[in-house]
Structure 1
Amino acid sequence: MAHRALVIAMLPAVGLRMLAVLGFPPSILFYGDSFAFLREDLTPGTTRPSGYSLLLALLRPAHSLTLVTVLQHLLMLGLAVAVYALLRRRGLPGWGAALLVTPLLYDEFLILLEHMIMADAVFIVLVTVAMLLIVRRVTPATAAVGGVLLGLAGITRTVGLPLLILTAAYLLIRRYGWRPLVALLVAGAIPLGAYATWMKVEKGKFALTEADGNFLWSRTMSFADCSVIKPPERLAVLCPDMPVAQRPYPPHWLWESFSPLLKVPGTSNRNQLAGEFARQAILAQPGEYLGAVATDLTQLLRWERTAVDEKTPYKLPTAERPLSGSVRGVAESYEAGPAATRVVEPFAGWLRAYQRFGYVPFPLLMLALVGALAGALLRRRWDALLPGVAALALVVSPPFLAAYDVRYVIPAIPLICLTVGLTLGARSSSPREQAETAREPLNVG
């Protein structure tokens, strides 16, 4: 069997996902993002784009959260097969390509996100498939499809927006011609423009969210000193009133009752003022800003994802958590019945035990990414640079724009695996060779 190694690798991976489906039906709900995605009144999100909500709306008639999670599990398994197929095409042996996709198949956090009602799994698939299309063969058609996928990724999670620009820069630098570049940008602009227009109609603002300023402001709460910033009176209300050493992590400043952000009336006005304050704080204290970012990035050197006694929403539950009255109706309306996550033993216990060791530590992932990027430059594997730089952008940008979160690193895993494989594999054809091949008549004899 030509693909025996992949089949052997896939079988236990399917088993792990069956444990998730059997052990935690119908899904794992993330407070409170999941309920915002599940709402029946479909409107553009305030703090996050609603691309994932559109997918959930398409699946709503089935009234099955299990259908959603099973679909997400299947999408990730299919993604592993697609990455494997491209790496085989680039000359890697079956066992080598299968080995490189094992993080996609076995990482406990990927399995967790696939089983959550969250946008992350769909975002990962959209981004990685777009990269696969572009690095496999650049034509106006593949560039257009890749652009649409990246545009959809941008309305699923805004961190995907820079990836469209990175891909356009790749096509420009490698001189693939104006047709693929235009196809990529026009196709990518279609979902982004349609969503922003929807936002304009619904909320009067041509944008993807109304919270980019809020998140950047929360980032500055790690260091902001208003005696240094000297903000104008209209922004002074956003000054923190506690010493730097006592301040909680940035995300808490978005939601907790102590946050001065909540004193500003009006969603749009709040976002605008928060953005202005954040920009002034960064310009007034650039060293402190970079220091806060660097401190966050040191989390990538942590070997364990989470400590045994650490409180985190990213651990598989040990007992059913009843839904509060404020969100129960949203989830049960979608499910057309009880929607709280049930914990079914022994399946749940087996998967919880696996979660303690079933992952590649971040230091090894970062070492693989840096090594692959360096190797790509030395071996002139230019196509490996696109997913590699995209992975780097996904990892590094959140601490600059909001804060580090272990969940924000996970979308880089498939891209890192792809980068390593392309660096080790055979050289791709040049833009000129691809153009000449495209002009050759198809030989069917």
Structure 2
Amino acid sequence: MAHRALVIAMLPAIGLRVLAVLGFPPALLFYGDSFAFLSEKLAPGTTRPSGYSLLLAVLRPAHSLTLVTVLQHLLGLALAVAVYALLRRRGLPGWGATLLVTPLLYDEFLVLLEHMIMADAIFIVLVTAAVVLIVWRVTPATAAVGGVLLGLAGITRTVGLPLLLLTAAYLLIRRYGWRPLVALLVAGAIPLGAYATWMKVEKGKFALTEADGNFLWSRTMSFADCDVIKPPERLAVLCPQMPVAERPYPPHWLWESFSPLLKVPGPANRNQLAGEFGRAAILAQPGGYLGAVATDLTGLFRWERTAVDEKTPYKLPASERPLNESVRDVAESYEGGPAATRVVEPFAGWLRAYQRFGYVPFPVLTLVLAGALVTGLVRRRWDVLLPGLAALALMVSPPFLAAFDVRYVIPAIPLVFLALGLSLVARDDLRPRPSPSQAAPGARARSTTWGTERRTTG
């Protein structure tokens, strides 16, 4: 059987997901975010786009969080199969392609996100599916579908927005022609424009969120010194009062009662002033900004994702956590009954034990990405650029815009190993090429490998 290695690898991976379904029914819930997505009142989100809420609204009539998580698990498995298929198409043997999708099948954090009521699993599927499709073959049709997927990713998590522009730059640099480029951009603009129009109708602002300025401001709380920034009076209310050494991590400044951000009335006004303060702080203290970003990026060199005694929402629970009164009705309305995460032994314990070692350490992930990009450039495997640079953007951009979080790195995992596989293929493009007698005179005159490929794939 040609795909025996993949089938063998998928059986335990399916088992891990079955453990999640049996051990933590009906789903894992994340702070207040999950309940915002589950809200029966469908509206554009203030702090995050509501693309994931739209999916949950479609599934709401079933009144089953288990249905949501099972669907996410299935999509995660299907994504591994798609990456495997692309690598096989590019000439890798079955065992090699299977080895490269093993992290997609077995990384504990991917399993956790698939079982969580959060936008991350769907975001990972949308971004990776778009990249796989475009790398598979560039035509106006595939570019259009890829553009729609990236547009949907952008209304699922705003960090997806730069990936649409990155993909457009890739098509432009590779000289695939104007039709795929236009198809990508127009198709990508459709979900983004529709969502921004919805935001305009509901909240009077043509945008995807009302919190980009808030997050940038929270980033500057790591270093901001108002004696140096000298903000105008209308921004001075946002100055931190704590000494730098005593300040908590940036996300705490968004929600905690000590935050001066909460003194500013109105979400839109707050976001506007916070954005102005953030930009002023960065311009006044560029060294402090880059130092804070560099400090956060050291998280990519931490071997353990979470220490044994570290408090984090990303550990599988050992006991049931009752829902707060403020969110219980939202969750139980969606579920049509009790919705708190239950812990069912021994299945939950087996998966908790696996979580302690079943992951790709970030230093390994970073090294693999660097190796894939360097190998791709040296061997002129130009298709490595799209997944490789997309993965790099996902890994390094959050500390520039908000803060480092383990969860923000996980979407890069499928793209990193796709890039590695593409860097190892025997030839960059296996599509048929015209013979010299069939090629136009201009094409024969430009007979380099890359030049011929550009002429035949545009």
Same fold (TM over 0.5): yes
Code of the aligned partner of 2:216:
L
Instruction: Give the secondary structure class of the aligned counterpart of 1:197.
Output: helix
Instruction: Give the secondary structure class of the aligned counterpart of 1:239.
Output: coil
Per the alignment, residue 325 of structure 2 pairs with 325
Aligned equivalents of 1:412, 1:181: Cα separation in 2: 24
Aligned equivalents of 2:318, 2:110: Cα separation in 1: 19
RMSD: 1.0
Per the alignment, residue 443 of structure 1 pairs with none
Per the alignment, residue 122 of structure 2 pairs with 122
Residues 292-330 of structure 1 show CA distances to partners (whole Å, capped at 9, x for unaligned) of 000000011000000001000000000000001000000
* 8 Å Cα contact 2:35/2:331 also seen in 1: yes
Aligned equivalents of 2:149, 2:455: Cα separation in 1: 23
Aligned equivalents of 2:185, 2:91: Cα separation in 1: 31
Per the alignment, residue 362 of structure 2 pairs with 362
Residues 113-146 of structure 1 show CA distances to partners (whole Å, capped at 9, x for unaligned) of 0000000000000000000011111000000000
> Does residue 1:204 correspond to 2:197, yes or no?
no
* 8 Å Cα contact 1:214/1:270 also seen in 2: yes
Per the alignment, residue 52 of structure 1 pairs with 52
Per the alignment, residue 63 of structure 2 pairs with 63
* 8 Å Cα contact 2:176/2:454 also seen in 1: no
* 8 Å Cα contact 1:176/1:431 also seen in 2: no
* 8 Å Cα contact 1:175/1:431 also seen in 2: no
Aligned equivalents of 1:88, 1:366: Cα separation in 2: 24
- TM value normalised by structure 2: 0.95
Per the alignment, residue 428 of structure 2 pairs with 427
Per the alignment, residue 443 of structure 2 pairs with none
Runs of 4+ in 1 over 3 A off after TM superposition: 429-438
Residues 365-390 of structure 1 show CA distances to partners (whole Å, capped at 9, x for unaligned) of 00000010000100000011110000
Per the alignment, residue 445 of structure 2 pairs with none
Residues 49-95 of structure 1 show CA distances to partners (whole Å, capped at 9, x for unaligned) of 00000000000000000000000000000000000000001111100
| CA shift for structure 1 position 47 | 0.1
Aligned equivalents of 1:432, 1:408: Cα separation in 2: 39
- TM value normalised by structure 1: 0.97
Gap runs ≥5 in structure 1? 439-445
| CA shift for structure 1 position 254 | 0.1
Q: Residues 17-416 of structure 1: matches in 2 within 5 Å?
A: 17-416=17-416
Aligned equivalents of 2:226, 2:13: Cα separation in 1: 52
Aligned equivalents of 2:343, 2:315: Cα separation in 1: 13
Aligned equivalents of 1:164, 1:421: Cα separation in 2: 22
* 8 Å Cα contact 2:261/2:274 also seen in 1: yes
* 8 Å Cα contact 2:213/2:273 also seen in 1: yes
Aligned equivalents of 2:216, 2:51: Cα separation in 1: 22
| CA shift for structure 1 position 188 | 0.1
Aligned equivalents of 1:32, 1:403: Cα separation in 2: 19
Q: 1:350–1:204: structure 2 CA closer, same or farther, 3 Å change rule?
A: same
Instruction: Give the secondary structure class of the aligned counterpart of 1:207.
Output: coil
Code of the aligned partner of 1:357:
F
| Percent of aligned positions that are identical | 86
Number of residue pairs aligned between Structure 1 and Structure 2: 438
Per the alignment, residue 436 of structure 2 pairs with none
Code of the aligned partner of 1:42:
L
* 8 Å Cα contact 2:214/2:274 also seen in 1: yes
Residues 409-434 of structure 1 show CA distances to partners (whole Å, capped at 9, x for unaligned) of 00000000100000001311568547
Code of the aligned partner of 2:336:
A
Code of the aligned partner of 1:243:
P
Aligned equivalents of 2:24, 2:143: Cα separation in 1: 39
Per the alignment, residue 437 of structure 2 pairs with none
Per the alignment, residue 12 of structure 1 pairs with 12
* 8 Å Cα contact 2:174/2:454 also seen in 1: no
Aligned equivalents of 2:145, 2:382: Cα separation in 1: 21
| CA shift for structure 1 position 435 | 6.6
Gap runs ≥5 in structure 2? 432-449
